[in-house]
Amino acid sequence: MSSHYDVIVVGGGMVGAALAALLGRSRLRVAVIEGVAPRAWSPEQLPDLRVSSVNAISQRVFAACHAWEGMYSRRAAPFRRLKVWDNSEHDGTTFHAADVGAESFGWFVENPIIQLALWESLAELDTVTRYCPAKPARLEPDLHHVTLTLQDGRELSADLLVGADGARSSVRHMAGIAVDVHDYHQQALIINAVTELPQQDITWQRFTPTGPQAFLPLAGHHASLVWYHTPDKVRQLLALSDHELIVALQQEFPEELGGINAILGRASFAIRRLHAQRYRAHRIVLVGDAAHVIHPLAGQGLNIGIQDIALLARYLERGDDPGAAKLLSAYEAHRRPANQAMMSTMEAFHHLFTRSPAVLRQAGAKGLVMINTLSPLKRWVMRHAMGLTVINAD
């Protein structure tokens, strides 16, 4: 027997769960298909290695999902200052949220906390049914709806099926949507550390020819350090003892880091860019990492995924046929160029600071410093970092 929904969301990660929460609150009937349920959380738990910067737009969307309180009350570290510089000799550029009248640029929140709070908000909704653990086996779109067969044999149907199942999206694959992929031949080493300095309200990033080094504040004396480097170097760093890694960090990271008392965990991620050539097929649409994966250097991957679903939810809440081609093509027409623009900006930063001759890097760094003195431009950069330059498409 088949159960029918307005919308099936495959992937109940941060982006898919947020979409389901928005749609469920608008009284649309939603099914969420997720392979792995979020784990319970306790305050004694050490910080997770997967951390995201949540900008002002995403925070508002999470609040509309009734999930922000569940994130903020657990662990969220606000950042009120943002500093960038390259390793030539200058002071870099510091942005202050207060300069645009904001209390903070955003918050660093652990990914499992974001997902858990969203799932708690889904549990309150009688309009949302969660299928977990469950995975899709087959998709069959026809003129009026799409039928999804799960791997356990259950059959569901909906007017629209959303692929929110991440970078390796099975929905994208089953819908026959091709992707453009670029491998940066770079890895991000993520290190969770206990810092000598107490909780900070600044996040900083120093660009070096081998890749950026970044500091993300976490609650208490904790920080997430991100060290972008070649795969060989990251492999070497991963093999070091905690003591050796602390020595390497103190030698290579800028003095802003201060002392490191302990390493709590480390992991590495290959850096690549991926863009789906189309965001839609008949009665199927892609959101979040299923549609686009960008270089994480500016911490915008989740934020642009949340912008995808905020727009899609606004279209779907209008009450027309959720799978109508006109609606899906309007979504694609707004979000694909916006995400492409973000990708190109990350690309420009990556090339400027890693591939360019020293003279150009210094020019880039001077450009960053100039931003400090050109207040309208600086304000634009700050508002962009907060997600406030997003144009509300109708």
Per CB under 6 A, the list member of 5, 6, 8, 34 interacting with ligand FAD is 34
Query: For the packed helices 301-316 and 56-64, what is the interaxial angle rounded to 10 degrees?
Result: 40
Residue with tokens 């290190």: 191
Contact call for residue 166 and ligand FAD (CB under 6 A): yes
Per CB under 6 A, the list member of 135, 272, 275, 379 interacting with ligand FAD is 135
Per CB under 6 A, the list member of 120, 127, 154, 269 interacting with ligand FAD is 269
Contact call for residue 163 and ligand FAD (CB under 6 A): no
Contact call for residue 177 and ligand FAD (CB under 6 A): no
Q: CB 374 → ligand FAD: shortest distance, Å?
A: 26
Per CB under 6 A, the list member of 121, 129, 170, 200 interacting with ligand FAD is 170
Per CB under 6 A, the list member of 59, 300, 307, 339 interacting with ligand FAD is 300
Contact call for residue 15 and ligand FAD (CB under 6 A): yes
Q: Compare residues 20 and 125 and give the one whose CB is closer to ligand FAD.
A: 20
Contact call for residue 35 and ligand FAD (CB under 6 A): yes
- Total residues at interface with ligand FAD (CB under 6 A): 31
Q: Compare residues 57 and 246 and give the one whose CB is closer to ligand FAD.
A: 57
The region of 31-39, 61-69, 118-126, 198-206 touching ligand FAD under the rule CB under 6 A is 31-39
Q: CB 319 → ligand FAD: shortest distance, Å?
A: 26
What is d(CA 141, CA 138) in angstroms, rounded to the nearest whole number?
Answer: 10
Q: For residue 108, which phi and psi values (nearest 5 degrees)?
A: -95, 125
Per CB under 6 A, the list member of 305, 322, 323, 364 interacting with ligand FAD is 305
217-256 residues near ligand FAD, rule: CB under 6 A: none
The region of 29-37, 174-182, 273-281, 375-383 touching ligand FAD under the rule CB under 6 A is 29-37
Contact call for residue 270 and ligand FAD (CB under 6 A): no
Contact call for residue 274 and ligand FAD (CB under 6 A): no
The region of 11-19, 93-101, 231-239, 361-369 touching ligand FAD under the rule CB under 6 A is 11-19
42-101 residues near ligand FAD, rule: CB under 6 A: 52-53
| Interacting residue ranges for ligand FAD, rule: CB under 6 A | 10-16, 33-36, 52-53, 135-136, 164-166, 170, 188, 190, 269, 288-289, 296, 299-303, 305
